[in-house]
Amino acid sequence: MRRNNNLYKLIRAFIGIFVAAFLCIFSKAECYADNVVVVIDPGHGGSNLGGNTDEYIEQELTIQVAKYMAERLEQYDGITVYLTHDEIGEKDLTREERATIAAEHNADFLFSLHFNMSENHNLYGAEVWTSAFGTYYQRGQEFGHIVMDGLHGDLDFFDRGVKTKLGKDGDDYYGIILYAQKKNIPAVIIEHCHLDEPRDNYFLTETENPYKTFGYVDADAVAKYFRLSSAKLGVDYSDYQYEKIDIPTLPVGQDKTSPEFCTVNLEEVRNNTAIVSINAKDSDGSIQYYQYSTDGGNNFSMLYPWNNKPDAKEALDTEEIQVEIPLVTGKEAQLTVRAYNRYELYADSSLLTLPAGEEVVVVAEDDDEYDDYEEIVIDADKSKNKKTKKDKLTEKYKKKNISEDSKPIADELFLYMIGGLLLLALIVSTFIVIYVSNLRRRRRRRRKRRRR
């Protein structure tokens, strides 16, 4: 009997383990025993400053973001957070050393934080880099899209994508991703925004604490990815749903080919402006930016997002867009348009002759293409004063209220008049009723007197 009992217990334990393992493998949530361990890697350090402009040094920014990210994450339950280093100016760790630190802590994920710059100082937006391989790709992509929801969706940065890049040897190009993967740790590089483009760096000057904002966005993305909750913060992501990415059987490398074509067509000319439709396609990627030249390709405009709105932060998922291009006063323009994919490979359209613009006498307008370009850049500079999404919403809300409060005066007058007339009619009819009933009463009395 006793033996039977033990056997029963043993069977039960086996079933228990089997069920747990089954759930672990097949449940949507990743199975992290009871505690998630993440390592945050502030990019650069020591003599390696990273990107730097007159105003910003990347290694100083990444440390700040990392500290805020850790501070926020530590308020979640069931997570342990480590930093690869936490002092500005601390010796530059190699990428392999950073991955080794993550491995020593048995990290479930390694997040490398960065800020971007481009050679021609013309790119803008946020991007995330992941491994090109198997589950590392899957996890990097899944997390990447969550954090992009924050950077693009909440903070309004242009979405440059969650991308991969292979080196010549066919391995992951970025060292930190490569070494982490060799140690079985999924890793991503988060490039928050560009330090050298006004449409991005206005955020650093205009936001009260941009590094805290970035750190919290990163941290909350991690919490969502690992489905954490925080009693302290009063948030519960235990049921957080995100898009599942399939595990690729082959490495998912970068798009190595330029867009297949870029064509340009003149639709209409009005008010010294050419309305032009641009067609471009990149079937193994997508079009991200375009720019144009009106002097046959010598000078180009700034990069615009692939849509018809200069201020929009999103590229459209379409082959054709319509744009307005100012005519060049006094001379025909040779228009060419350049369409870029997400890896900055481009295709040029053939030349299209635009008619000369007319001299505008009253309004002094820039007629030189180069001036035009400067104007655009200055405009972009103005984006330093750009309002946050929240400001915009508040403003919109205010505007709505204002417009509701200040209905056209004629409308109000009309209402008052109708009201007044109704009131007058009521008073008049009351008087008539009283008068008539009085009249009847008097008549009755008179009749009664006569009968007497």
Residues of this chain that bind Zn ion (CB under 5 A): 43, 50, 114
- In angstroms, the CA 318 to CA 312 distance is 15
- Residue closer to Zn ion by CB (options 148, 315) is 148
Give 113 or 278: the residue with its C-beta nearer to Zn ion.
113
Q: Which is nearer to Zn ion, 147 or 287 (CB)?
A: 147
Q: Which of 339, 353, 342, 352 is nearest to 261 (CA)?
A: 339
Nearer CB in complex with Zn ion: 95/331: 95
176 versus 321: smaller Cβ distance to Zn ion: 176
User: Of 112 and 181, which CB lies nearer to Zn ion in the complex structure?
Assistant: 112
Measured from the CB of residue 78, what is the shortest distance to Zn ion in angstroms? 30
> Is 67 exposed, middle or buried, given 0-12, 13-18 or 19+ CB atoms closer than 10 A?
middle
> Within 13 Å of residue 149, how many CA atoms lie on the same side as its CB?
15
Rank residues 62 and 291 by Cβ distance to Zn ion and give the closer one: 62
What tokens appear for 425 in the block?
């009619």
Q: How do beta strands 333-341 and 352-354 pair?
A: antiparallel
Which residue intervals of 183-293 are DSSP H helices?
198-206, 210-225
Q: How far is the CB of 102 from Zn ion (least distance, A)?
A: 17
Spatial separation of the C-alpha atoms in residues 136 and 162, rounded to whole Å: 13
**β pairing state of 159-164 and 126-130:** parallel
To Zn ion, the closest distance from the beta carbon of 114 in angstroms equals 4
Rounded to the nearest whole angstrom, what is the least distance from the CB of residue 191 to Zn ion in the complex? 7
Nearer to Zn ion by Cβ, of 43 and 150: the residue is: 43
* 192-201 exposure pattern, b = at least 16 Cβ within 10 A, e = fewer: bbbbbbbbbb
- Helix 95-104 crosses helix 175-182 at what angle (to 10 degrees)? 40
Sign of the alpha-carbon torsion through 354, 360, 365, 367: positive
Q: Closest separation between CB of residue 66 and Zn ion, Å?
A: 12
CA distance 377 to 372: 9
Closest approach of Cβ 62 to Zn ion, in Å? 7
Please, what is the minimum distance in Å from the beta carbon of residue 285 to Zn ion?
A: 23
Q: What is the secondary structure of 158-175 as a DSSP string?
A: -EEEEEE-B-TTSSBSSH
Distance, in Å, from the CA atom of 88 to the CA atom of 66, rounded to the nearest integer, reads 11
Q: State the nearest-atom distance from the C-beta of 43 to Zn ion, in Å.
A: 4
- Nearer of residues 114 and 139 to Zn ion, judged by Cβ: 114
Those residues with Cβ within 8 angstroms of residue 187's Cβ, 6 or more apart along the chain or in another chain: 99, 102, 109, 110, 111, 112, 130, 131, 136, 140, 176, 177, 180, 181
Q: Name the residue nearer to Zn ion (CB basis): 129 or 373.
A: 129
Provide the minimum distance between the beta carbon of 73 and Zn ion in the complex, in angstroms, as a whole number.
21
> 292 exposed, middle or buried (CB, 10 Å; 0-12, 13-18, 19+)?
buried
* CA 300/CA 322 separation, integer angstroms: 18
Q: Based on CB atoms, which residue is closest to Zn ion, 56 or 133?
A: 56
Number of C-alpha atoms within 13 angstroms, CB side, residue 50?
26
Residue nearest to Zn ion (CB): 114
**Cα dihedral sign, 380-383-389-392:** negative
Minimum CB–partner distance for residue 57 and Zn ion (Å): 11
Residue 155: HSE in the Cβ half-sphere, 13 Å Cα cutoff: 31
In whole angstroms, the minimum distance from the beta carbon of 92 to Zn ion comes to 12
